[in-house]
Every structure is written in structure tokens, then in C-alpha cells.
Structure 1
């Protein structure tokens, strides 16, 4: 005898992991904190980087520290344009803001030199 099923009444199989369901990379609500990581081209890679390599904050901190070192040794062969100087100054301002937050929380921080490039 044939099996007859109404629309939307078919077998449903869904594996639910409470941790991945609750802390979904697509976006979840945890208390009053809304977590939304946006659209990733490969959420599995992004999740593994965040769990095994470093959080966004750690990545930004290390990239910023490396940029500070590069800025300290950067000597352009030709003068920077006004737009280029503004971009470097904005980066230095942001890196100083990151250093302020690190120091506020008792973390070591390096700062860009104030010398103009």
C-alpha cells in the first residue's frame, strides 16, 4: 500500500547541537547581547580561525602591532600625498585608541611614534 502524506507532514530529520545552535555564526541572541558575524563566504573556516587561531580582537591587536613596527621603519622615497598622510594619521589614531583600551585593562600596548612620515 502506498504511503500518503499531506504537504509539510513528511519525515523531518534535524540534528541539533545545543552549542552550535545557540552560538550560531549566522547570529544569535544571548541575553541582551546580539551576536551577528555577518555573511561569510566560508563560515566553517571563519569559525575555526576564531576558535583555534584568535578572536577578532586578538587578530586586530597583532595586525596593529605589526603595522606600528612597519610604520616606525617606513621611509617613503617620495613625499606622501595629503590623502595618504591622512590615511596614515587615521590609522595611528585608531592604533592609539586600541593601545588606550589595552592599557585600561592592564595589557601591554605599543604605540605608533608621533614622528611624521
Structure 2
């Protein structure tokens, strides 16, 4: 080895030679990136609400306008927008409940076909 290269070796990083904590998702959206900070509930429901109903900023704006309206003793458009937003969010939640029910039913049907005894044990466990 050439001793003149050793001082320069610290400047170069090879693959996996540093702090490797990047989340690599197989599904990317290059044209419309969205940053997910902290989901308190069901991630799929919250991401659908943010993507299809209203962003966090939009939700906060509607809520703030409605709160100011109520504080001033009025009931106008801002309160109606908040009620509409609430209805749309509940509709997304209901759709996800239906999807969950369909998924569970399909899985139970498969278990019934593949291993009926295991299905009986599972049902008895939940009684």
C-alpha cells in the first residue's frame, strides 16, 4: 500500500460504512412526495384522509376557522365546512372497516378450507 493514501481514506465512505437507518419503501411517489411524521392511529386511514380528504394544514385551518366562528358566537360557513370534513373522514373510516371485515372473512374461509380443526380452535379461543 502506498503510505500517501492513508490520510485520505477517512474521507471516503463505502457502502454500509456509516449510520444506516434509512427507511426504504418499495412504493415511491416521485411526482408527489408526502412526508409522514407521526400517525397516532391507523396509518392507512390517516394517509388516505390526508391524500383524498384534506391535508393536515387544511384540516387545521378548517378547525381554526370554525373555532373562531364559535368563539364570536356565529354559526356560518366555517362550521359547515368542519361538519362536512367530519362526515368525509368518517366515510373513509367506514370504508376501511369494510375492507378489514372482508380481509378477515377471506382469511377465515381459507383457514376453513386448509385446516378446519385450527379454525375451530381459533373460534373457541374467541368465545
Please tell me the TM-score bracket, short chain as reference.
Answer: 0.3 to 0.5
TM-score (norm 2): 0.32
Rg (Cα) greater in structure: 2
Bigger RCO (CA 8 Å, 6+ sep): 1
Larger helix share, 1 or 2: 2
Larger strand share, 1 or 2: 1
TM-score (norm 1): 0.34
